[in-house]
Structure 1
Amino acid sequence: MKSSTLLTITRVSIASLVVAVVVVAGLVLDTVMNPRNAGTPTTEGERTILVSERAVQAAPDDPEARSRLAAAYLSVGRNADALREAEYAIRLDPELGNGYLVKGMVERALGRYEQAVASLQQALGLGENETADWRFLLQMELAEAYKGLDDLESARDALTEALASFPEAANIYYERGRIAEQMGDLEFALQDFQTVLTFIPDDEAATEAIARVSASIEASPSLEASPAPQGSE
């Protein structure tokens, strides 16, 4: 994996997981295989919005349908529409974890980081029985929101929780290492960058990071080693 791929894989993962939250497979397949007219949406995002809007039209008081529509809007950058639908879903069902998850994602996209953290924490409390994909997405969003607040410690903790869902996610070790490096926790950062190479031996970004951090450690011989990063075993 090249470094550019490694640096963008987090966003790709989130986008694919949003689609997983949104898509009702049968409806999407029907839309793709049986276009109704020349005006039928052609992009995946447009098709997802179409089937999600139809689901809401068929069941306007279904909170899950509303949350799926919110996620569909978010996936194409229609943040105001996404926030409206997510809030509507929560009004219909205040215990809907997906509603709070999408609401938090929209708030993070809008730069409302404190609100995003609150919404995502609410989702976390309601999503104990959700899938590993769902928890991974939530923790990734939490990490980004905490980074927006310059709370690097909490961002690193969120990435550690993400690794609990996907312990072989090399990109998360890299991102966590970057945060540790910013915090000055160089031994921790070094171990995370080295872990990336156990999954992707020729990764350029991790190799460069190891050289950079190793040089910093050598320049500070009195630096005490930090505890081994959790999730690195």
Structure 2
Amino acid sequence: MARTRRGNNVDGERESLFWLQFGVLALVILILVAVLWALITVSSLESGAPRTAIERNIRVLESTVAQDPENASAWAQLIRAQTASGDTAAAAKTVERADETLGTRRGPVGIEAARITFVEGDYAVALEEIDAALKIVAEETEAEKKSLAERGIAMDPDYTNEIAARVLKGEILTEMDDAEGAIDAYTEALEFSGRMADVLLARGLLYEEIGRIDEARADFNAALTYVPDYAPVLEALDRIGG
């Protein structure tokens, strides 16, 4: 009987020792994992790894520009992404890099240069810059038309930059309290493509602001044709009695 109790005691001591060793080992493993995670995190931060969707997008666009440095649209997308992130200083530097790489100011880059100035609040200079960009864009559109005609291609040129420049001009003039000028800019943009619900909303709000309610209502209803559940438009129609 004594031997049995002694055996039980030995077994109990062995089991206690096992769990003690297991607990120590588990604690060591947890500490090592925590240290490794901290090292990885610090390394990522120091290496400038992207931490947000915006940073990842900028990194992708930087890679696109590196692979295709003659692509003015890619440069413009990168500049716009940097501006949208709030880093207008980086965006301005990218404008300089784009001009140096492309050898001249291109339309898409000019539009984004004006956007930087607009975001920074210098509306008068932004207006001058967007007007200069519009001239460049017009020349590029004309060159594309000529190229298509020479190749016997019966299609319209890409009016993306024509539209973007006029929409930005409308936004600038709106901030400058020039409702009529902004309406004209939005109208020109809509002549290239009338299916832009956001532009129709913007012009409609300006019409409403200056008391041209019938035209405002027409723009709001047109916007709903393309985006039937567009909340700001529905609110505007409710406000003016649509």
**Take 2:166 and 2:132, find their aligned partners in 1: how far apart are those partners?**
12
Q: Could you say which structure has the higher helix fraction?
A: 2
**Structure 2, unaligned runs of 5 or more:** 1-42, 142-156
- 2: CA distance, partners of 1:56 / 1:159: 30
- Distance, in Å, in 2 between the alignment partners of 1:102 and 1:51 is 18
One-letter code aligned to 1:132: Y
Query: Could you list the per-position Cα deviations for residues 124-146 of structure 1 after superposition, in whole angstroms to 9, with x for gaps in the alignment?
Result: 11113273333332222111111
- Tell me what 1:100 maps to: 110
Give 1:148's aligned residue: 175
CA distance in 2, matches of 1:59, 1:201: 39
- Distance (Å, rounded) in 1 between the aligned partners of 2:77 and 2:180: 32
Structure 2 residue corresponding to 1:115, chosen from 98, 105, 125 = 125
Number of the residue aligned with 1:41: 50
Which of 61, 65, 88 is 1:79 aligned to? 88
Q: Matched residues in 2 for 1:175 and 1:66: separation?
A: 27
- Residue 167 of structure 1, CA deviation: 1.1
For the residues of structure 1 that align with 2:227 and 2:236, how far apart are their CA atoms? 14
Q: Which runs of 4+ in 1 moved over 3 A?
A: 37-40, 51-60, 62-69, 87-95, 197-208
- CA–CA separation in structure 1 for the residues paired with 2:133 and 2:83: 17
Q: Please, what is the CA RMSD of the aligned residues?
A: 3.2
The 10-residue stretch of structure 1 (174-183 or 191-200) with the greater mean CA deviation from structure 2: 191-200
Go from structure 1 to structure 2 and tell me whether the alpha carbon gap of 1:68 and 1:200 turns closer, same or farther (over 3 Å shift).
closer
8 Å CA contact 1:63–1:89 kept in 2: the answer is no
1:192 pairs with 2:219:
yes
Change (3 A) 1:94 1:156: same
Larger radius of gyration: 2
User: In 2, are the aligned partners of 1:105 and 1:141 still within 8 Å (CA)?
Assistant: yes
Cα separation, partners in 2 of 1:152 and 1:57, compared to 1, 3 Å:
same
> Residue 167 in 1 paired to residue 194 in 2?
yes
Q: How many pairs align?
A: 178
Alignment of 1:63-78 (within 5 A): 64=72, 67=76, 69-78=78-87
| 8 Å Cα contact 1:152/1:183 also seen in 2 | yes
1:69, distance to aligned residue in structure 2 (A): 4.2
Q: Report the TM-score when normalising by structure 1.
A: 0.62
Cα pair 1:87 1:103 within 8 Å, conserved: no
* Cα distance change, pair 170–41 in 1 and its aligned pair in 2 (3 A): same
Identity %: 28
| Equivalent pair of 2:107/2:161 in contact (CA under 8 Å) | no
Distance change (3 Å), C-alpha of 1:204 and 1:48: closer
Matched ranges for 1:211-222 at <5 A: 211-214=238-241
Cα gap change, 1:71 to 1:171, in 2 (>3 Å): closer
What residue ranges of structure 1 are gaps of 5+ in the alignment? 1-36, 216-233
